[in-house]
Amino acid sequence: MTVPLAADLTNGGGSALASWTPLWVQLGLLGAAVTGLVVTGRSDDPNPLLRGLRRIPNALERLTGVSGWAAATIGTSLFGLLVAGQGFYSDVSWHIALGRDDEVLTAPHTAIVVGLVLIAWAGGAGVLFATLDRVDTRLRWGGLRIPWSAGLLGLLGLSAVAGFPLDELWHQTYGVDVTMWSPTHMLMILGAAFSGAASWLVLAEAGVPVSGRRWWRGLHVVAAWLTLQGLTAPLGEFAFGVPQFNQLFHPLIICMAAGLAVVAMRLVLGRGWAFGIVFVSFLLDQSNLLAGGNDGPVRTRAAAIYLVSAAVVEVVALLLGTERRPRFALVSGLGIGTIGLAGEWAWNANAYQPWRAALLPEALVLGLVVAVAAAILGVAYGNALGGRPGPRSPGPVLLGAAAVLVAALAWPMPRSVGEVTAAMRVEPSGRGAVDVEVDVTPADAGDGARWFQASSWQGGELALAEMEEVAPGRWASSEPVPIGGSHKSLLRLHRGGEMMAVPVFLPDDPEIGEPEIPA
């Protein structure tokens, strides 16, 4: 399986990945929107600066019917998420296609920083405009009126922004990492990921119901979609085809995201909307829109579809209702962890690292646990968002569900290297590639593996070749493996909690003083 990356190997020169155009277009749109709001807004404040600032929430409130502070907070945060998301996609694609970048402020990095700053500023804008309009908030500090949802959003944004300089310090201290899931990367990813959920809470605090003006349901739908997308963001580790962590994380994160987001969607938005949002999200994922369409430089494969899980939640609500929230959470969680997981299994049978039978036992047991715990929390989240009235879950139940969820997600974290040796041979196959054959000891080392692949990346393409057993203990690549140039080609074996790799070809790397490892 070869995934073409239209990329020049000179630090992105000539590649769509290095283009500044998307960011300039996005910032131009933002500038035009702010200018339009200032021009059309109304204020009689004698201070010119305050008069200009007050016009922004005034124009937004007249346009949407939503409190000005809330409309500004939501609009800024959602726009920031889109900017950061586009930069994130291009940055990961850059590192898969090209390897390291030679400077800090590349186009993708700048887009990420700008997006994260906008998310942080969204919280600040909420506080600023709530203070100017003297909004009655429970939380006050001096003369500041602080909506708690805007404060939460600001903290998430600031933590995400802090991840960028910490990431540079991490690289200087420990070297360059090759995974999305380094601590500093996750600080940025999770800070941005949960900002969608925080933005949905802004609507709740501002008292914006789902029904009413035409804008209101639309805002709830967009916030719900971004909540699901945020919870799905860590799955990029698997969607891009070069995961460095236990494959068990893949189904568990899916069960968590479905339990939290889809259950809340059904409670807040009503019949059919959860499935509708998930279906449209699936179509957007399939269009590869974030990468510029199917002709973009990188094609990822959606790591989750949620269609079956959403259908399960809709059916549970239809048959059992949602008034008895504990029952709704339990049955929805059980459905997500079984029928929903089966749907994801069918989809991921053709993933870059296909789901195989070896994954099933742990995925089914822990997936059920994660889905039920997440559904309990999803019901509580839906209640906080203003879902239809129902009894609130007791605090100890929510704490217990959160603890179980964290423990289950931490289960796959430990990794080890197995007692396996490999005797590898390569045969030229033309076109700068080789056929790989390997004898493993013990002979059953590859039996029941979660994946056994030859992976080649950072040479202008991502190439994955499954290893197929041709004799007891002897495995051969299903496709030629690229070598030469800047390709980094590895043979990778993952079984249970063990992850192992041996180089097929590595180019010389003067930056870290490592010589070439020839094929």
Comparing 315 with 418, the larger pLDDT belongs to: 315
Res. 513 pLDDT band, cuts 50 70 90: confident
Sign of CA dihedral 27, 30, 34, 40: positive
Average pLDDT over residues 450-454: 95
Residue 292's pLDDT is 54
Q: Residue 17 and residue 23: Cα distance in Å, rounded?
A: 12
Give the number of other CB atoms < 10 A from CB of residue 183: 11
pLDDT tens digit sequence for 49-102: 777 788 888 888 888 888 888 999 999 998 999 899 888 888 888 788 777 777
Q: Are 108 and 87 in contact (CB under 8 A)?
A: yes
Residue 45's pLDDT is 65
Domain layout of the chain by residue ranges? 1-208, 246-413, 421-505
Res. 142 pLDDT band, cuts 50 70 90: confident
Looking at the chain, the whole-number percentage of residues with pLDDT higher than 70 is 92
On average, the pLDDT of the chain sits at 87
Give the number of other CB atoms < 10 A from CB of residue 143: 7
Res. 3 pLDDT band, cuts 50 70 90: very low
Residue 287's pLDDT is 78
Q: Are 309 and 258 in contact (CB under 8 A)?
A: yes
Residue 391's pLDDT is 62
Which position has the token pair 């059953």?
444
Greatest pairwise CA separation for the chain in angstroms: 85
Comparing 72 with 391, the larger pLDDT belongs to: 72
Encoded tokens for 401: 């569900």
Residue 293's pLDDT is 52
Average pLDDT over residues 379-404: 83
Res. 437 pLDDT band, cuts 50 70 90: very high
- pTM over the 0.95 mark: no
Cβ-in-10-Å burial (0-12, 13-18, 19+) of 391 comes to: exposed
Comparing 517 with 3, the larger pLDDT belongs to: 517
Residue 415's pLDDT is 84
Average pLDDT over residues 318-340: 95
CATH of 421-505, one of 3.40.50, 2.120.10, 3.90.550, 2.60.40: 2.60.40
Which position has the token pair 């493993």?
440
Which helix (DSSP H) or strand (DSSP E) does residue 426 occupy?
strand 421-430
Encoded tokens for 414: 């430990």
Res. 326 pLDDT band, cuts 50 70 90: very high
Q: Are 459 and 485 in contact (CB under 8 A)?
A: yes
Q: Residue 319 and residue 362: Cα distance in Å, rounded?
A: 30
Question: 23 pLDDT exceeds 80?
Answer: yes
Question: Residue type for 185, please?
Answer: H
Which position has the token pair 């602080």?
146
The CA-based dihedral angle spanning residues 413, 331, 357, 414, taken in that order and rounded to the nearest 10 degrees: 10
Q: Residue 77 and residue 71: Cα distance in Å, rounded?
A: 10
Give the number of other CB atoms < 10 A from CB of residue 515: 10
**Residue in 3, 21, 68 with CA at minimum distance from that of residue 42:** 68
Q: Residue 100 and residue 24: Cα distance in Å, rounded?
A: 24
| Least confident residue range of 339-348, 358-367, 372-381, 454-463 | 454-463
Question: 294 pLDDT exceeds 60?
Answer: no
Question: 458 pLDDT exceeds 90?
Answer: no
Q: Residue 219 and residue 459: Cα distance in Å, rounded?
A: 42
Residue 56's pLDDT is 84
**CA 478, 482, 486 angle in degrees (round to 5)?**
155
**Residue in 259, 205, 203 with CA at minimum distance from that of residue 231:** 259
Res. 290 pLDDT band, cuts 50 70 90: low
Res. 15 pLDDT band, cuts 50 70 90: low
Encoded tokens for 179: 């995974």
Looking at the chain, the whole-number percentage of residues with pLDDT higher than 90 is 54
Cβ-in-10-Å burial (0-12, 13-18, 19+) of 422 comes to: middle
pLDDT tens digit sequence for 149-208: 999 999 999 999 999 889 888 877 776 666 788 889 999 999 999 999 999 999 999 988
Residues in the chain: 519
Comparing 7 with 207, the larger pLDDT belongs to: 207
Contacts 24+ apart (CB under 8 A), 178-184: 178/95, 178/242, 178/244, 179/237, 179/243, 179/244, 179/245, 180/92, 180/234, 180/236, 180/237, 180/240, 181/234, 181/237, 181/244, 181/245
Q: Residue 442 and residue 421: Cα distance in Å, rounded?
A: 8
| Least confident residue range of 157-166, 210-219, 362-371 | 210-219
**CA 58, 60, 61 angle in degrees (round to 5)?**
65
